[in-house]
Amino acid sequence: MAYEIRIAPAAERAIGKPAPPVQVAVLDKLEELAEDPRPAGCEKVKELAQYGVFRVKVADRKEIYQRLADLKRLLFA
């Protein structure tokens, strides 16, 4: 069963701010969440527990910085 993903305008603007590799990672994760909104490893947000809000990691920061470094090497080589 596929779920509908709705993105608030503020969230849409926030997705557009990081570097392209990060944007792609976020959009990929959103597509995954449409299939499974509570994947393994998701964590309940304690401050918003009454609303049933969960957090998922898009990518490890180390991975993101490596992808950015790779992109910079390609662009400025």
Q: What is the pLDDT along the chain (77 residues), one digit of tens a residue?
A: 688 888 888 888 888 888 888 888 889 999 999 999 999 999 999 988 888 889 898 877 777 677 777 777 777 76
> Are 49 and 19 a contacting pair, CB within 8 Å?
no
Give the pLDDT confidence score for residue 22 in this predicted structure: 83
Tokens of 51: 């609303």
Q: What pLDDT is recorded for position 53?
A: 87
The confidence score (pLDDT) of residue 39 equals 92
**43-44 vs 54-55, strand pairing mode:** antiparallel
Measured distance CA(13)–CA(9) in Å, rounded: 6
